[in-house]
Copies of this chain bind each other. A is one copy, B any other.
Amino acid sequence: MENTQYATSIPEIDAAVDHLCSPRSLGSVWLQSAQSSRMPQTAVLREIMQRLRAILFPGYFGSSVTSGSVKYHIAANLDSVYHLLADQIRRGFTFLHAIQGDEQDAQETADRANACTINLIQEIPKIRDLLALDAQAAYEGDPAASSPAETIFCYPSLYAMVHHRIAHVLYENKVPLIPRMIQEMAHSHTGIDIHPGASIGSHFFIDHGTGVVIGETSIIGDHCRLYQGVTLGALSFPKNADGTLVKGFARHPILGNKVTVYAGATILGRIHIGDKCVIGGNVWVTEDIPEGSHVVQGKHIQ
């Protein structure tokens, strides 16, 4: 076999290919048995989210429906979501097994993916209830909004919350990778970055939203409202004896009910912000705030 047949006319390309395919270089990025044919698929997740939007808000999104025919479309979309999502979740588990170098029992993985999907489907009516209240909150909280319907149709807050409330159920079911991808789709679209682990109550509204970050272990009560650039973050990252980060411990704030956080405020650590607190714009908070407080610029709490 003549090796020269492989040569391109441009030696720099050949050299780069050789480098990129050397065991050392490939090894630096090569996931054990990584194969794009087995990876979760962004385009399919996008279709799933579109069908879910049509299920949650019929008439606004998806095929045209009437009160007579709405059930048919919801049922067909839900059935398709079931098939499509179970497969994506299975891919998520496969990815996790590849990372962990686990043996994987194909049937067990499929069963587990199915169970997670069924659990999400059971939660969807509750998710719609919450989103309807979120729309009401958006309408009531934004003087520029003309109706809850408008906020359902085109507000970034509602878009982000559809993604979050779905992703959160999957996270609770310990589905790997998929909730994170659903989060990033909303993050990229809206600039609102809510970790799937965050627990968020009813009547939630984020105005404008760009730059909002809500960390993995955040807990938010009912009737809360955030503005753009708000961070609910961690204050420090304790490490294990071996120097690696401790993963998963409670490190983000807890907000009570009816808390408002204005633009650019930063709330860090496992602190409690009491009911009906108002945190002013650009304020920096790292300690508990008692119920009903108004915290403003110049009175940083740390």
B-binding residues in A (CB < 8 A): 1, 3, 5-10, 12-13, 15-22, 25-26, 28-31, 34-39, 55-80, 82-83, 95-96, 98-99, 118, 121-122, 124-125, 128-129, 131-132, 135, 140-144, 146-147, 149-150, 152-156, 176-177, 180-181, 184, 187-191, 193, 195, 197, 208, 210-213, 215-216, 227-229, 231, 233-234, 237, 244-249, 251, 263-264, 266, 268, 281-282, 284, 296-298, 300, 302
Contact = CB atoms under 8 A, between A and B. Distances in A.
B18 A1 contact: yes
Most B C-beta atoms less than 10 A away, residue of A25, A36, A231, A247: A36
A45 to B, nearest CB: 10
A253 B268 CA distance: 26
B237 A210 contact: no
A26 to B, nearest CB: 7
A298 B300 CA distance: 8
Nearest to A144: B216
Given A9-B66, A95-B153, A150-B180, 17 more contacts: A1-B18, A6-B71, A6-B72, A12-B121, A17-B72, A25-B125, A29-B56, A29-B58, A69-B76, A142-B245, A150-B177, A156-B188, A208-B213, A210-B212, A231-B264, A264-B282, A284-B297
A281 B64 contact: no
A99 B147 contact: yes
A78 B280 CA distance: 46
Contact of A125 (B19, B233, B297): B19
B34 A60 contact: yes
B146 A176 contact: yes
A129 B210 contact: no
B149 A34 contact: yes
The winner among A16, A66, A188 for most chain B CB atoms within 10 A is A16
A95 to B, nearest CB: 7
Contact of A37 (B83, B128, B266, B281): B83
Given A36-B60, A228-B231, A66 B8 contact: yes
A62 B83 CA distance: 13
Contacts of A180: 150, 154
18 contacts: A25-B125, A29-B57, A34-B59, A34-B60, A35-B64, A36-B61, A36-B62, A63-B79, A63-B80, A69-B76, A73-B80, A144-B215, A146-B247, A211-B211, A228-B231, A231-B264, A266-B281, A266-B282
A55 to B, nearest CB: 7
B229 A65 contact: no
Contacts of A132: 28-29
Given A191-B210, A281-B284, A72 B66 contact: no
